[in-house]
């Protein structure tokens, strides 16, 4: 059993020794790992750290605001908020292939990040929230197979192109240790115990072509689903839960009128390792409540379905 205050003190000392008086840049994604890395490094070197938060327009509802409030507002860290949604949407226009979409989002991300890094010529270090399982995975044969099935884009591939030294203070930690550390550093429980969110974000949860209009509908439907899961104490019992936007229209009735609107699928899974997963047996009453809230509150969606596919043969994401 590790002693958290001692661990933090040691980690802080190590970062200070490594970095000295030099400046560090970190890509903040809103995910657990980059958030905890940012909080730890900020504790160690304060304003020598600049976080770059790239909003690709494919984030969840209020995600950008929450990240800014936490890091800039509460921790007083230096955070550059880049709204690149126009640029990402532009490049995704007309693109329907999932792997192509991932490639474009990954490439644009590197480009935007690189441009921001270029504005910080004094930065000598790139900090990343790499954790122990990532270290093993990037060397293992298992990951190669996973990557050929779906290319997973995080903030990979940056250091070579940037010519920066790598700072990875979470390299020795497992996920639950990273979470404990995050809480000890003062990050909110909900941020630290959040479900994983893919790097390409809603880009792979809007099937086919990504459009601003679809992203807006999906964000609102997804937020309702997550709200209700939390309210019913089901959030922590599922490993990942989200809504998926289906760009097909179906007929419905509302009042005296006929509607012809989009469909949203709900996905909730239980898994240990994300390699295999079971669909979560959510109570019908909960599903019913989520469905009627989405249909009543999100104009443009008139039908909600629940995904009861296991992995394998289905994947967790729909793309
Ligand atoms: P699948 O859909 O392959 O997902 O069953 C397994 C886990 O990986 C996540 N995932 C991604 N994460 N970039 C990411 O950072 C991606 O392109 C990506 N695709 C899938 C997915 O959310 C699930 O946790």
pLDDT in tens, 134-183: 888 776 544 444 444 555 555 445 666 678 999 999 999 999 999 999 99
Looking at ligand 1, which residue's alpha carbon is closest to its atom 22?
Answer: 198
Instruction: Please identify which residue in the block is written with the tokens 């950008």.
Output: 64
Alpha-carbon separation of residue 109 from 153, 187, 238, 239, 319 (angstroms): 10, 25, 29, 26, 19
Q: Give CA–CA dist 96/195, Å, rounded.
A: 26
The per-residue pLDDT for range 37-65, each reduced to its tens digit, is 999 999 999 999 999 999 999 999 999 99
Q: What is the pTM of this model?
A: 0.93
- Each domain of the chain, given as residue ranges in start order, spans 4-192, 205-306
Residue 160: what pLDDT? Answer: 66
Give the pLDDT mean for 247-263.
Answer: 96
What is the CATH architecture of 205-306?
2-Layer Sandwich (3.30)
Residue 305: what pLDDT? Answer: 98
Classify domain 4-192 at the CATH superfamily level: HUPs (3.40.50.620)
State which of 151, 204, 317, 319 you would mutate to test the pocket of ligand 1, scoring each by most atoms of that ligand within 8 A of its C-beta: 317
ipTM given for this complex: 0.99
Query: Is the distance from the beta carbon of residue 276 to the nearest atom of ligand 1 less than 6 Å?
Result: no
Residue 142: what pLDDT? Answer: 44
Alpha-carbon separation of residue 249 from 13, 64, 80, 210, 254 (angstroms): 57, 30, 39, 16, 15
* 205 close to 242: Cβ distance less than 8 angstroms: yes
The per-residue pLDDT for range 27-40, each reduced to its tens digit, is 999 999 999 999 99
Query: Is the distance from the beta carbon of residue 103 to the nearest atom of ligand 1 less than 6 Å?
Result: no
State which of 100, 198, 271, 307 you would mutate to test the pocket of ligand 1, scoring each by most atoms of that ligand within 8 A of its C-beta: 198
Give the pLDDT mean for 112-133.
Answer: 95
Tell which residue, 15, 2, 25, has the closest CA to residue 181.
2
């Amino acid at each position: 059993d590790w002693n958290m205050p001692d661990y933090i003190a040691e980690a802080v000392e190590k970062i200070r020794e490594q970095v000295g008086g030099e400046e560090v840049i970190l890509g903040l994604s809103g995910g657990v790992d980059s958030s905890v890395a940012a909080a730890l490094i900020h504790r160690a070197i304060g304003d020598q750290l600049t976080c770059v938060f790239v909003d690709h327009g494919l984030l969840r509802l209020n995600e950008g605001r929450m990240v800014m409030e936490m890091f800039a507002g509460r921790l007083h860290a230096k955070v550059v908020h880049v709204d690149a949604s126009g640029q990402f949407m532009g490049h995704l226009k007309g693109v329907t292939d999932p792997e192509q979409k991932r490639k474009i989002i990954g490439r644009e991300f590197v480009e935007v990040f690189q441009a921001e890094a270029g504005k910080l010529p004094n930065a000598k270090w790139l900090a990343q929230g790499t954790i122990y399982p990532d270290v093993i995975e990037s060397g293992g044969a298992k990951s190669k197979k996973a990557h050929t099935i779906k290319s997973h884009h995080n903030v990979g591939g940056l250091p070579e192109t940037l010519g920066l030294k790598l700072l990875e203070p979470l390299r020795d930690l497992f996920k639950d240790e990273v979470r404990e550390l995050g809480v000890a550093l003062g990050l909110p429980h909900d941020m630290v115990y959040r479900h994983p969110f893919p790097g390409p974000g809603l880009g792979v949860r809007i099937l086919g072509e990504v459009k601003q209009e679809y992203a807006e509908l999906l964000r609102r439907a997804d937020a309702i689903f997550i709200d209700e899961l939390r309210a019913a104490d089901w959030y922590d019992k599922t490993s990942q839960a989200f809504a998926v936007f289906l760009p097909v229209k179906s007929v419905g009735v509302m009042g005296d009128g006929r509607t012809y609107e989009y469909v949203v699928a709900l996905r909730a899974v239980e898994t240990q390792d994300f390699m295999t997963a079971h669909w979560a047996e959510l109570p019908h009453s909960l599903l019913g409540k989520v469905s009627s809230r989405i249909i009543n509150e999100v104009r443009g969606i008139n039908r909600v379905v629940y995904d009861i596919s296991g992995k394998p043969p289905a994947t967790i994401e729909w793309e």
